[in-house]
Amino acid sequence: MIDCDMESRKCFIFTWVLENIAYCILEKVESPTFVVDTIEKTKWKLIIYPKDTADENNISFYLKRDENSKGPGKIEIDYELAFLAADGSILKSSVVQNQAFKKNEGYGISSFDTRQNVFDENRSTFLPAGTLTARCRMWMSAGEVEMDGQCIASTRFAVERRRFLWKTEKFSTFERTEESLQIRSASCDRPVFFINMFVQQDLDKKAETIHIVFLSATGLNINFTFKVALSDAKGNPVDCGQYEVWLNSFVRTRDITLTLTKDSLIANSQMYLANDVLTLICECAFSTGGVWKGVEDISYGIGSECAIPNPVNDALSQNSEITAVKNGDHLISLEAADEHIPDLKQDIIRMLNDNIQCDVKLSVETEIYPAHWFILSARSPVFRAMFKSDMKEKARDKIDIEDLKPDTVRRMLLYMYTDFLEELQWETASALYTASDKYQILALKDKCSTFLKTNLSPTNVCELLVLADLHHDKDLKFLVQDFILKRDVEIFNSDDWKVLMETNAHLAAETMFLKFKK
**Between the CA atoms of 396, 397, 401 and 405, what dihedral angle is there, to the nearest 10 degrees?**
130
Other Cβ atoms less than 10 A from the Cβ of 140: the count is 18
pLDDT (tens digit, 9 = 90+) per residue, 282-321?
A: 988 887 666 766 665 666 665 444 343 333 333 333 333 3
Average pLDDT score over the chain: 83
Task: State residue 330's pLDDT score.
Answer: 34
Task: State residue 296's pLDDT score.
Answer: 59
Residue 331 has pLDDT above 80, yes or no: no
Which of 76-80, 309-313, 315-319, 485-489 is the most confident on average?
76-80
| Lowest mean pLDDT segment, chosen from 105-114, 125-134, 300-309, 331-340 | 331-340
Closest to 340 measured CA to CA, from 320, 355, 359:
320
Task: State residue 504's pLDDT score.
Answer: 92
pTM of the model: 0.54
Residue 252 has pLDDT above 80, yes or no: yes
Other Cβ atoms less than 10 A from the Cβ of 150: the count is 23
Distances (CA, A) of 210 to 70, 200, 457: 60, 7, 65
Q: Residues of the chain with pLDDT > 70: what percent?
A: 85
Task: State residue 24's pLDDT score.
Answer: 83
Task: State residue 12's pLDDT score.
Answer: 94
Strands 12-19 and 149-157: parallel
Task: For residues 359-368, give the mean pLDDT.
Answer: 87
Task: State residue 440's pLDDT score.
Answer: 92
Task: State residue 320's pLDDT score.
Answer: 37
How is residue 217 annotated by DSSP?
S
pLDDT (tens digit, 9 = 90+) per residue, 382-391?
A: 988 887 765 5
- Side chain identity, residue 179: E
Cα–Cα distance measured from residue 297 to residue 312, given in angstroms and rounded to the nearest whole number: 14
- Side chain identity, residue 25: I
How is residue 176 annotated by DSSP?
B
Per CATH, 12-147 and 159-289 having the same topology is answered yes
Which string of DSSP letters, residue by residue, matches 340-354? ----HHHHHHHHHHT
pLDDT (tens digit, 9 = 90+) per residue, 438-479?
A: 999 999 998 999 889 888 889 999 999 999 999 999 989 999
Contact 433, 455 (CB under 8 A): no
- Side chain identity, residue 8: S
Residue 87 has pLDDT above 70, yes or no: yes
Which of 73-82, 313-322, 361-370 is the most confident on average?
73-82
Q: Where are the domains of the chain?
A: 12-147, 159-289, 342-441, 456-517
User: Taking the mean position of all CA atoms in its chain, how far away is CA 49?
Assistant: 17
12-147 CATH fold: 2.60.210
Exposure letters 244-264 (e unless 16+ CB within 10 A, then b): ebebeeeeeebebebebbbee
Task: For residues 319-325, give the mean pLDDT.
Answer: 35
Task: State residue 184's pLDDT score.
Answer: 84
Name the class of domain 456-517: mainly alpha
Give the confidence band of 437 by pLDDT, cuts at 50, 70, 90.
very high
Q: For domain 342-441, give the CATH number.
A: 3.30.710.10
User: Does residue 22 or residue 335 have the better pLDDT?
Assistant: 22
Instruction: State which CATH number among 1.10.3470.10, 3.60.20.10, 2.60.210.10, 3.40.50.2300 fits the domain covering 159-289.
Output: 2.60.210.10
Kindly report the three-state secondary structure assignment for every residue of 303-316: CCCCCCCCCCCCCC
Give the confidence band of 327 by pLDDT, cuts at 50, 70, 90.
very low
How is residue 186 annotated by DSSP?
T
Task: State residue 187's pLDDT score.
Answer: 66
Kindly report the three-state secondary structure assignment for every residue of 413-455: HHHHHHCCCCCCCHHHHHHHHHHHHHCCCHHHHHHHHHHHHHC
Task: For residues 230-234, give the mean pLDDT.
Answer: 85
User: Does residue 517 or residue 35 have the better pLDDT?
Assistant: 35
Task: State residue 390's pLDDT score.
Answer: 52
